[in-house]
Structures are given as structure tokens and as C-alpha cells.
Structure 1
């Protein structure tokens, strides 16, 4: 797949007039959309243009909000083109990953918990990750790497507890003798059974209870609600971390279905953390995919969320992350112009930067210049994982001991236990009612 930048417009998204001009510029790429010149020769403008096929335009939450603001400003125009209906908003995933991680840090990361074994801040100090701070935007990659490592360590510690193993090197007592001689299908079924039991024990049972409660099916439901704050904290951290890892892996593999499924859980997370704009963005995306969009638009929104710049398996990136990279590259080129900046030159830089980059790479190969690395060297995380696992084992975080708690945190139940199901259902029903009455649900 080839990425083709469409140029740079010297417009400010914060201004509604500039945002309208940006959308008018982009609408020329919409199939079937009529240009301004064509519209001038139409004496009786029809409200609908059956030839136009609206396409999604992606961005972070703030960009989508500004696009919708531009749509509202043009709501009373005569034709679909003038109402900018050739473009529909599609929230993308990189900035959502930042907000999801921030919601996790807000809930589980406190500097006052330095002496409480098994908390994120105590584990951060154990492995000396000084670049990890509560503000995720300050260093997203450092915080994300730390949370992924801690999540993996929690899974290992839970497995050791479930399988009755004292350390990673011990043989698993739940694996029968001569299993290595069985066929591949049998070994896979055994592995699924063992791992499934562990996941059910520590992570899924309480989550299923909470989801059923949110959906209003409380009658006859019993679940493992414990008063062990340390155990609840550890299982909640793991569940948040696994949801994040699934989202990251979905992006790498280009799995749009799984990425959309992540937004369902994200809606509940943002409701709990009072991130009302991302809660609304979650609803609008899910409503569009499941009800509002046409079949073609739905396919575009689900599968056009990723960009693969270098080719190869599992090298997909979020669309808004690629835009951040292109912005950084373009700003570096524009800065070299100094005072010689003009709209035409800046736009030319935007349209040709990928071509110039490819020419530069080809020239370097021909003259024998060693290509620059495309990946950072990864440090060995084995010792850090072992250190975190030992901390979790010593604190016995995956045993249920009544009355334990972390003094720096309020009592922790399941990750969605505090969702007010009645308030959330009312909010969702109000939004659906707005859509059903032909109104915008924002």
C-alpha cells in the first residue's frame, strides 16, 4: 500500500471558518461530489445528490469534534456538498490509547503508595523506571512499556499461583506425563483448558458478574466479590493492562473488528473516569458501525484505521499516529525555509515529502550508505519481569485474604463495579432517541 499526502493547508482547526475550508478542500476527493463550478450551473439545487458517496475522514477526538462543529455551522445549506456531507467523522485509535492509559494511571498510580507492595508506583521504583510519570502525555511510550511489562508479570504471577508453581522454571503439575508425545490438537486443547481455568479464576468471573449487573440481569447472579483490597487491586490492574495489550496487538495486526470491540470496554472506562468527550466518541463510533453507516462506510471505518509504512507482517500503525509522524517530518522541512515560507511552497512540501523521502533512501542505497535503523534496540526485560513477579509473589497478591487493603487506595472491587448502570442506560437511551428522531447525537 502506498501513502500519498494531500498537501499542507495553512489553516487553523480551532477556527470554524478555517475548518470549513479544510473540509471543502477535502471534499474534492469524495466520489460523486460536485465542485463549486458545477454547482454554479445548477439552477435548481436538489437537496440530495444520489451520485455522492460519503467517505470517512479520521482524526483524534478534538479533530472529530471540530469537524462536527463545521457540519453544524453548515446545517442549513441547500445541497449535500454545501453541508459538507461528503465527509463523515471517524475517531482513530492512537490518542484513544493515550487516554485509556491515562484513565488506568489515574486509578492505580499514586506516589503515596511507594511502600505498598504490588502497587504500580512501588513496582516502578523496584525496576527503576524513572521516566514513568502519571501524566501519560509526557512520555506515552515509556508509560506504555512499563504497563505492558507489569501486565505480563501479573499474568505470570497469577499462573504460578493457579498452577501451584514456586518459580518460572518449575514443571507445571497440571500438565500430565507424556503430553509431549500427544498430537498438536490434543496439546492445544489441554493448554486452552489449563489457561482458561486460570483466567476464569482470577479475571473473568467477577467481570462477567459486573457486566451482567450493568445490563440489568442481577437476579440469580452470584459472583466472587471479595473484601481483599490487595487481591482486587492486582486483578483490576491486570484486566486494564490486558485490554490495553489487546488494543495494541489489534493495531499491529490490522484487526479492525477487535479494535472496534475494544471501544465497547473503553466506553465503560471513560464513563468511570469521567472522560465525557471520549465516552461520547465511543458511542458515536459504535452507533455508526452498528446502525448509522452504510455497509460500505462501515467497512471503511472498521478496516481503514491502520497504515503500514514499511510493509511486512504486524507493522501496522494507527492512522493518527502516522499523521503525527508526518507532521513532525513536515515541520522539519518547513523550518529549513526560514523566512521564505509561502503557502504554495509549504503545500508542495506536504505533497512531495514521501516522494523525496523515498528518493533519498534509494540514493543512499545506490551509493552504499548504510540505511538508518527503523527500530529501536530493545533492552532485555527478563530481569525486570522477574523482579516484578517476585514482588507480587512475596506480597501474595493473588491469594484472597480477607481484610487486606492498600492504604493509599479506596476499596477496589471489579474494574466496572462502580458503573452506575441506571445513569449509563439513561444516557445511552437519550442518545439513541436523538438519532431515531433524525437529530445529531452530540
Structure 2
């Protein structure tokens, strides 16, 4: 080996010495977590959570035969993350837990008060986009406009978190039996116990599949005698990186179509105009490329709306800055820009109305056909509308009313897309794209800034969009997250769930990342590190060494000044791309309503408000998937 040759001349140690040292380090990986668990069991305030994801890898044989085929591995990687925010709550005055079954369906969509909060958040995003992409504003406000949107725990958002890679486990999350064995092992090792009983549950984060598999495993063990054997030491939760990815995928379903290349100012048109060739295939395989394209369009729309508010035609024109600009205080300068941005948000995002008005009217109307069956769900029974009979299952009630009362309500239909010849389809499309991208960027910035409350609140905006685009799995995940954060857990657990949703490796208030995104990075580095191991047993045996090897490799590259080679391709300027988008929008007057303007691609024709026509089956989905307990959050089979 090369390392042994170098060892002979005294440059490094022998390979056997390195392997022995790595093997000795394995026991120290989770030693701190185990100490925290012991203190937690004794009433300590410092706590942690576990995050996991599937680890899949195909190992190709050097010589393929009938016995030596491709080895497909399905393992599970885990990390432990120490809570950065430790809530201080007086348990003696803790409120009673909220019964989620008593929550009305309208609680799962944004209220008017939450829309007011969103207005302030979007004002910050629009102002930031204007400052970063308009040179005149950058020179005036670039050094004074805040980069961080303050929240309850902004003082801790820049603190580095402590996370520990716990290695790979022999678990295929597609198999419930494997997940049960994994949770049993983790329960014995990481769940705080007092006299054999669970002191407090540990949050277990992951993507929607991991969340669902853990609940299935808990459901399979529901008849066990003790809570620890029921696997109730863990409360699974969905993390934010996969939420971001799937929300953008839902947005692309509504706004991105390859057939719209001829329609100017559509997302696919801008993809070609900006030569964004990495925007291709599925969103999940090119998430960052899609995100950059949509953020470029969003910033371009913000610049175009700003110019329209200022009665200007191009970014080169002199901005009408107040005459006494030099004498104004910094707060007054910021307020001047925020007032303009707030006006843009009110006029173009909310359009001076409740963006969820249609949904709210449907969900709160007991006589609406959408609520015909769920409205009579009382004490776990569905009551007949015509007699005193009641049934456990909704299908039985439907058969009863059809046979005995000859009644079958006609299925509700969402209002079809407007075919009015005087409508402006491009204008409606641009506003729909602007609103959806603003919501995605708001969630993304919440993750970056460690604003857990804003991140959780965003689930209420995602729920109707997932329902509209038939993304049922993540609709269920949003309903669960909203239920867990709205009082179904003790206040301390709710605070931990909300405010410990990110990891910060380098420090800085805007340098946070979602927990599951960090796991994805660990998976990527681990797969590169384990290339020397060609069997499942060897990978599992040495998996706890991989984190040390990853750190050592990065440290070696740093001290040796190893850098990535620069290619000949010059990456286009983001500012220039934003300018191209804004110029295109202004050139064809895309932000002015022109009667009769049509889109050739009918697949992306939509309402101006993306939340219109989202109510179809929404009430039923919410009632069906409202969790009774934080464990076994599977759908209500009665509905």
C-alpha cells in the first residue's frame, strides 16, 4: 500500500496503526450522547434527537458471473443532534394537551393573523431581493439593510450545533420487520428511562418515508405490554429539506411544462433564455438547479414590480430616492424601502384580500357538499342525516342512505379553469408563479435562519397545494406537523419540535441547514469513503470509522491546498440573469393585465390565486389523517 511505503520513510504511520486507531475511536462517537441520556433520565435539561435516512448503494463485481451479480445494499444511517434551544417552561403551570380530534379543518390552513405575519416575512424577502439585484439600491442600502429576519431565538441561530454520526445499521426501511429491530436497539440505547418506563420521548426525524415506516412499526407493536416494547420511545417527524424539495416539485407541476417554450415569460421559456441546461429531469434529481431558476424569476418579478411602482422603465434609470436621503437615519431609509415592498406584497401577493377565502368558506360551511359526510361524525360514529341510525364506517352510512333513503349526494366539483375570452392567462400565470415561489423562498429562508416557527407555519400553506397536485404523502406529513405543533404535545416538547429543526456547522445566523439535508451530505461522503469495502459486513463493521475518515480527508485536502479544477465554462452572473428576466417582463408588459392574452400551452393555465380550487376532498383528507396520538399516526380507517 502507498501509505505503508510512506511510513517506511517516516512520513506517516502504518495502515494497521491507522485501522487500530479508528477502531478505538468508535466507542467515543456516541459517548457524549449517552451521557446526555443519563442526565436526561435524572431530570437534566439538555436533550437530543435522532435523524436518519436510507443508505442505498450498488456494488459492481469486478468480474460478473451468474454467482457474482451486482450487490444492492439497503442500509440505514443515523446521526444524533444535541438540542440547541432548551425551553424553560414551568411544568406545574403547563396547559392541558389539545385533543387534535377537536381541531376543526380550518385550523390546518392559514388564518388571517398568520397571513399578516406572512406579509411581514415576504416584505423582508422582497426588500432583500431588491437590494441585492438593483445596483442603485445596493449602493444606498447594501451596508445597512439587515441580512437576518429576527425571531424568538435569533440569538442562538448563529451558534454551532453538536451532531454525532452514529454509523450505518443493517436496516431496510422498506421492511417493517427491519425497522422494528432498529427501533428496539435504539430504544435500549438512546431512550431515557426511569425504572424501566420512558422518561420522555426522543424525536426521530427523517423524510416522509422514514416517518411513515416508524409509525407502521409502532402500529405493528401496539399490543405489546409496555410502552418501551410498543416503541413509543420515539416520536417521528418530517424534516424540512424534503419538504422544500417536494413543495418545489408541486410548484413545478403547476407552472413548469416543456410545451410552454413558445410562451414568453413562462418558467420553461426562462429556462431556455438563461441557458439553464442543468434544469432537467425530475425536481428531486436537480433540486438546486430548479430552485435557482425559480429564485431568479422571483427576483426578476420583484425588480419589475418595483420599477412599475416607481413609474420607471429600466434598471438604468435614476431611482426617485428622497431628496433628504443623506440626512435620514438608517431606520428611516430601511422603512422607505420596506414601505414600497409591503405595498408590492399587499397588491400583488395578497391582492388586498384573504388568499384562502374560498377554502375557508368551504371548510367552515357545514352545509357544503364537501362536509356532507364528515360533518356528522360524532363520538366516533357517522350519524344518518335522515334517521337515528349511526355507523362506524363512512361507507356503511353511504350504503344506508342510498338504500333506505334513496339519497346519494352529487360529488362536488371544483370550478373549472376560466375560459373567458377576455381573461389574461399570462398575467394570471405570472402572479401564480410569483406567489408560489415566494412561499417556497420563505420556507427556505426560515431554514437558513433557524426560524423553526416560520418553518412549521409554512406547512399550512403547503397543505392545500399538495392537495391540489395530488401529493398525498406530503399532504399527510403537513397535517401531522401542524397537529404536533399546535398543542397535541406538552409545551416543552412542542418548543423543542419547533425550534430545533436545523444544524449549523460553520456558525452564523444565516448558515443553518435542515437536519435531513445534513444526513444527505453525510450519506454522500460516506459512500465515497467506503469505496474500499466491497461487502455488506465490511461496510457495517467499519461504518463508524467513516466520519473520522471524512474529517481527516477534508483536513488533508485543506492543508495541502487541494482545490477543485476550474473548467472553461464561465458560470453566468446571477445579477445579469435577474436583469434579463425583469427586462423580458417589462418588454411584453407581462405584469399588466391585457384582455384576451392567451397561453399556447394549456397545461399551465391556472387561477391567479394558487389556493383557489384547492378544497376538493381537503376536508376529508384533514379529518382522515388528524393524529389521535403522536405515535401510530396512520389514517382513520373509518373514513
TM-score by length of 1: 0.86
Q: 2:286 matched to 1:139?
A: yes
The residue that corresponds to 1:401 in the other structure is 594
Q: Deviations along 1:196-239, whole A, 9 cap, x unmatched? A: 11222211126x433123222999xxxxx993221111111111
State the alpha-carbon separation in 2 of the partners of residues 253 and 97 from structure 1: 15
- CA–CA distance in structure 2, aligned partners of residues 325 and 139 of structure 1: 15
Three-state SS of the structure 2 residue aligned to 1:413 is coil
1:317 corresponds to 2:513: yes
2:269 paired with 1:122: yes
Q: Deviations along 1:110-159, whole A, 9 cap, x unmatched?
A: 12211111111111111111221252123111111111111111111111
Structure 1 contact 253–314 (Cα < 8 Å) conserved? yes
* 2:478 is equivalent to residue 282 of structure 1: yes
2:624 is equivalent to residue 427 of structure 1: no
**Secondary structure in structure 1 of the residue aligned to 2:356:** helix
Q: CA deviation at 1:291?
A: 2.2
Partner Cα separation in structure 2 for residue 352 and residue 3 of structure 1 = 15
Cα deviation digits, residues 355-392 of structure 1 (max 9, x gap) = 33334455566xx411557xx99752122222111111
Distance 2:515 2:458 in 1: 17
Work out which of the residue numbers 411, 426, 429 in structure 2 matches 1:230: 426
Partner Cα separation in structure 1 for residue 269 and residue 474 of structure 2:
30
- SS for the counterpart of 1:83 is coil
Q: Is the 8 A contact 1:127 1:384 kept in 2?
A: yes
Is 2:504–2:513's contact at 8 Å kept on the other side of the alignment?
Answer: yes
Distance 1:71 1:189 in 2: 52
CA distance in 1, matches of 2:479, 2:606: 29
Offset, 1:187: 2.3
In the alignment, what sits opposite 1:240?
436
Superposition deviation, residue 411 in structure 1: 4.4
RMSD of aligned C-alpha atoms? 2.9
Query: Contact 1:271–1:279 at 8 Å: present in 2 too?
Result: yes
My pick for the range that moved more, 12-21 or 423-432, is 423-432
Task: State the number of aligned residues.
Answer: 414
| Cα 1:329–1:157 shift into 2, 3 Å | same
Partner of 1:415: 610
Gaps spanning 5+ residues in structure 2: where?
A: 1-160, 365-419
Match 1:304 to one of 476, 492, 500 = 500
| 1:181, distance to aligned residue in structure 2 (A) | 1.7
1:42 match:
none
Match of 2:227 among 63, 68, 80: 80
Do the aligned residues in 1 keep the contact of 2:250 with 2:466 (CA within 8 Å)? yes
CA distance in 1, matches of 2:494, 2:562: 40
Range 19-28 or range 294-303, more displaced: 294-303
Identify which of 57, 60, 65 aligns with 2:207. 60
Instruction: Specify which of 449, 465, 470 is matched with residue 269 of structure 1.
Output: 465
- Structure 2 distance, partners of 1:189, 1:411, is 35
Q: Partner residue of 2:174?
A: 14
* Mapped partners of 1:364, 1:130: distance in 2: 31
**Could you list the runs of 5+ residues in structure 1 that have no partner in the other structure?**
40-48, 220-224
Q: Residues of 2 paired with 1:200 and 1:76: CA distance?
A: 53
- The aligned residue for residue 203 of structure 1 is 349
Deviations 1:15-40 (A, max 9, x none): 11101111112223444337xxx87x
Contact 2:168 2:543 in 1 (8 A): yes
Of residues 331, 348, 353, the one that matches 1:185 is 331
> For 2:243, which of 80, 87, 96 is the aligned residue?
96
Change in CA separation of 1:291 and 1:441 when aligned onto 2, cut-off 3 Å: farther
- Residue aligning to 1:391: 584
Provide the C-alpha distance between the structure 1 equivalents of 2:322 and 2:601, rounded to a whole number of angstroms. Answer: 43
The reply on whether 1:2 has 2:196 as its aligned counterpart is no
The separation in 2 between residues aligned to 1:16 and 1:262, in whole angstroms, is: 31
1:260–1:82 CA distance, 2 compared to 1 (3 A) = same
**TM-score (normalised: structure 2):** 0.60
2:314 aligns with 167
Structure 1 residue 67 displacement after superposition:
0.6
Between structures 1 and 2, the one with greater strand share: 2
Question: What is the deviation of 1:314?
Answer: 2.0
2:369 corresponds in structure 1 to none
CA apart distance, 1:83: 0.3
The answer to whether the 8 A contact 1:105-1:134 is kept is: no
